Amino acid sequence: MKFIKFKNEKDASLFVANELIASIKTNPSIKLGLATGSTPIPLYQDIANDYAKNKTDWSHVSIFNLDEYIGLSENHEQSYKVFMYNHLFSKLNVNLKNTHFPEHGINYDELIKKNGGIDIQILGIGTNGHIGFNEPGSTLDSLTRVVDLTPETIQVNANKFFNGDITNVPKTALSMGIASILKAKKIYLLAFGKSKQYAISELKKAKAFNINFPASALALHPDVTIIYDEEAESDL
């Protein structure tokens, strides 16, 4: 794992946006794995700004999102489909037919494989080390499946996205698994702010897979870059 520290999330997000845009210019039909949560919002804003200015062509890009809540209607404002549409897809010339989310009845890992696999995967990280919705206890060989969210994740997401009301947060989700994520050719994990100090310090220590800290699986992948800011650095 390579670690790159930035002064703040603004600089970090712009760096990743420029990496993605350069990759699209090299490979216009690139397959991207994208994440939701608060972390990638400035990244998506930078990509939207680039499109407004430079018209980078997204019409042949395919996007596979990491996860989706179970039980929210498709047009619920907190569904990840709506999140991605609002923050990114609606701002680009992306072809919505090329955008994908895990769904019941679809073999998502097969779908990704048939499309040639994910070239670049963007990840955030939960305060407990989850990636996608692979909570502690997720196994290294896990593929896309239904997962239970931990009380910690439900509370964090309630505070960030559901006005603090845990009763409105779905308790289950469909998520790409750890094995699904590790199949991506290149991975960027983004972590900003004090709440991610524990996650960054654990990632720095990770040498092997630890089932209690799912992101440790990234230590087994040959091309992972951890992008973090000064606030996420700690002396832990």
Footprint of ligand GLP (CB under 6 A): 35-39, 66-67, 124-126, 132-133, 153, 157, 160
Residue 136: phi and psi, rounded to 5, are -50, 140
Return the number of the residue (18 or 159) whose C-beta is nearest ligand GLP: 159
Catalytic site includes residue 128: yes
Tell me which amino acid residue 128 is: N
Helices 41-54 and 9-26 cross at an angle (nearest 10°) of: 50
Helix (H, G, I), strand (E, B) or coil at 208: coil
Select 126 or 177, whichever has its Cβ closest to ligand GLP. 126
Q: Which is nearer to ligand GLP, 102 or 132 (CB)?
A: 132
Distance CA 163, CA 144 (A): 29
Q: Which of 59, 48, 60, 53 is nearest to 17 (CA)?
A: 48
Which residue, 29 or 86, is less far from ligand GLP as judged by CB? 86
Task: Report the nearest approach of ligand GLP to the CB of residue 141 (Å).
Answer: 20
Any catalytic annotation for residue 9?
no
CA distance 51 to 44: 11
86 phi and psi angles, rounded to 5 deg? -65, -45
Q: How far is the CB of 26 from ligand GLP (least distance, A)?
A: 26
Q: Least Å distance between CB 204 and ligand GLP? A: 18
Q: Give the active site residue among 87, 98, 119, 128.
A: 128
Looking at beta carbons, which residue is closest to ligand GLP? 124
What CA–CA distance (Å, rounded) separates 84 from 81? 5
Task: Please report, as a single letter, which amino acid is at residue 54.
Answer: N
Given the residues 9, 130, 202, 229, the one annotated as active site: 130
Please say if 135 is a catalytic residue.
yes
Catalytic annotation present for 130 = yes
Active site members: 67, 128, 130, 135
